[in-house]
Amino acid sequence: MPTAPGRVVTRHLDYDSPGLAPGEADRVLVVDVYHHIEQRERYLPLLRKGLKPGGELAIVDFKKEPTPDGPPLAMRLTPDEIRRELVAAGFRDIAIDTTLLPYQYLIKAHP
């Protein structure tokens, strides 16, 4: 789906596919749902292929500690767990910020 520069496109997708054509996206933002993605070892390489060279993946998800909102602790992942999954899927230049948000962390990675 061609878009004008600077345009944001949101999509409601099936749980098992990022729904991106190869090299389609400049950036992908995943907010508070990473812990729900099943078979991430298959999903993440598809997501990486959907990003343009120089593209960026940003993940915001809940810290693995008690918070007033969010999923049960057993469902949550630590930033290091996500980093390992991203590295295994071929992402690089992974940056983690655990101080920006009170209950969540931000992870940025590149294909």
Counting Cα atoms < 13 Å in the Cβ hemisphere of 12 gives 0
Give the chain's domain count. Answer: 1
For residue 2, pLDDT over 60 is answered with no
For residue 102, pLDDT over 60 is answered with yes
- The answer to whether position 31 is within a domain reads yes
- The answer to whether position 17 is within a domain reads no
- The answer to whether position 13 is within a domain reads no
The CATH code of the domain that includes 58 is 3.40.50.150
Q: Are 79 and 95 in contact, with CB atoms under 8 Å apart?
A: no
Residue with tokens 């209950």: 103
Average pLDDT of 43-72? Answer: 96
The pLDDT score that the predictor gives to residue 3 is 52
Q: The whole model's pTM is what?
A: 0.90
Q: pLDDT tier at 4 (50, 70, 90 boundaries)?
A: low
For residue 109, pLDDT over 60 is answered with yes
Rounded to an integer, what distance in angstroms lies between the CA atom of residue 32 and that of residue 76?
10
- Residue that wins the pLDDT comparison between 13 and 30: 30
Tell me the three state secondary structure of residue 43.
Answer: helix
For residue 111, pLDDT over 50 is answered with yes
Tell me the three state secondary structure of residue 18.
Answer: coil
- Residues 72-92 have pLDDT tens digits of 999 999 999 999 999 999 999
- The answer to whether position 54 is within a domain reads yes
How many residues in the chain? 111
